[in-house]
Structure 1
Amino acid sequence: KMSAWGAASKSCTSLLNRVGNNDPTLTTLTILPSKNFTDEDISKLSEIIASGKNTHLTSFYASGHQVSPTCLNGFGSALKIAFCNHKLFLNDLAFGCKNMGDEGI
């Protein structure tokens, strides 16, 4: 298994590209709080997951990132689509920040 912490860049673009390209070595994605993980990034990740393009990701960690309720709902819907289509199974998931209360995953 390989974990992607990301290089020195604050952007998540290269990490999301690896997810979108279904990199078989990327099974765990950890986006540290020092990264800029924006609503746009979350929407892109949601699209990738819902499309079924990635079948290798089994763990996703993005704790410490502010997530809008709209993006959180979109991410949940993407997971449901991927799960129902037997395309992606996340065994481990941590997403959001302490300000989210019960809305965090």
Structure 2
Amino acid sequence: MRILMVFEDQYGGLVNPDLGDAAWLVDSPVNRSLATRVWTGADAGSQVTLFDATMGEPGDADAIARFEDIDLHHPSWTEIDVVGVRLTPALEQEFRTLGIRIAACEAGFVARR
């Protein structure tokens, strides 16, 4: 199962945004609009959850907290694409301690198990 964890408040404004099998989006008016379309069935195919987080540059604590939520709600995940979070050495170490493989990418990073 591929999960998207998005900390960008304008992500829902993209044309055909990737939502993976499930998407966790930082709550904002633009992302809430996308979530509402999914919830009402206009954009079927993915599950969408909104969450609160520090606006601006989210920190390691925000990413770990959302990871723990996702791991709890989607225990069968195989990949989590994290958008809008810079991969820091401390964050990378935290994930490696949990047995998660991490790779940086242009939008943020990808966690795989």
Please, what TM-score do these two structures have when normalized by structure 2? Answer: 0.35
For the pair shown, which has the larger CA radius of gyration, 1 or 2?
A: 2
Please, what TM-score do these two structures have when normalized by structure 1? Answer: 0.37
